[in-house]
Amino acid sequence: MSVRLYEREIGTLTHLGGDRMLFAFTENYIGDENRPTLSLGFKDAFGGVFSDFVPTQTRALPFFSNLLPEGHMRAYLAGRARVNPVREFPLLKALGMDLPGAVTIVPAGGELFDGDDAYEEARGRPANGPLRFSLAGVQLKFSALLEARGGLTIPASGQGGNWIIKLPSREFEDVPQNEFSMMSLAAMVGINVPPVRLVDVGDIEDLPEGIGLGADFFRRKAFAIERFDRAADGSRVHIEDFAQVFGLYPEDKYKNASLRRIAQIIGIEAGNADVAEFIRRLTFNVLIGNADMHVKNWSLIYRDQKTASLAPAYDFVSTIAYIRDENFALKFSRTSRFGGFDADELAHLAAKAELPERLVLDTARETAARFREVWTKESAHLPLSQRVRGGINDHLAVLPPLA
């Protein structure tokens, strides 16, 4: 298969038989000093690209594996495409025309995808056909088009949307309301947040069949966020999450990484303005009790195709109202305990990540003060359940000051 970045072929994914596959960059891409960046994870020590890959079994390299959905979403799309969800080569073949960022994966010679024959024989062919898009993550979500009249419509193939619609959770109540509220608060605090909406599921046009989550499904709310990996003219903007940067598979998104290391890379690649934005988001998510800010919830964006900067914010949810947790998803520097997020821990993070200590501490203090002001004034006006509102208040009452 041809791997393309901004429609330019930069490499190939080759099926070797026995469910093994091999990725290789093209010589043209390797030799191009002005090459667009695919991933910081592929940069070598001399500013070139690492190109000595070995075959992988069943799974693609972590960079490509992280382009695919997980959990319920993967099972749903794999079933629609008649693909065994474990086998990533045919799954990338099925979904490769609409992946996150500016990567596309095109079958060799322009051949059409016709499903995984062995899986089709085992499961039978669904009548409603494949959806050919991929959005990373576990939650059921779809790419949607914003119509001129203001409504959201799912394209027939799932491809080409400029918004993401996240449907109600199977496990937890009012997650869309929670995420809309947290993202709205984040914008008020000064964080870079894309446009967001809270919409009625029943008002979303052309939702695929087979995703109902109960009798009241179409009376519930969904969360919608504008895609920052698609430009206004529909062109692709490249992004990657930090699981891709670190070469981690999605199931390892809570392991082998720290906020300190993410901050260090942002400081090296993007500079102090993005470091301040990183600290702002980190502080905000500690304050709302978001225990699920793993490496896939931090991303880089390549607006000029080469230079990394911190991508806009996404996936801000107060999780402590659903599952009590004393720990952040990743270590800050020495600890992951919410109660350990204090000035001393931030100073340690700054020192180890080689960041300006005053910038880190002043940004965290300003964010905390601004958040408490906004929370006091605005929380009653947000579509939050009493459970979430009370959970955040209880959490704020026991957090250490950042003085």
Q: Which residues have a catalytic role annotated?
A: 292
- Residues ≥6 apart with Cβ < 8 Å to 37: 43, 238, 302, 305, 306, 307, 308
Nearest-angstrom CA–CA distance, 2 and 199: 38
Contact 205, 269 (CB under 8 A): no
Angle between helices 71-81 and 88-95 (to 10 degrees): 80
Which residues have a Cβ under 8 Å from the Cβ of 174 and sit 6 or more positions away?
Answer: 221, 383, 384, 385, 388
In single-letter form, the type of residue at position 63 comes to: F
Give me the residue label for tokens 């000029």: 304
Q: How far is CA 337 from CA 288, 343, 398, in A?
A: 14, 14, 12
- Which amino acid would we find at residue 67? L
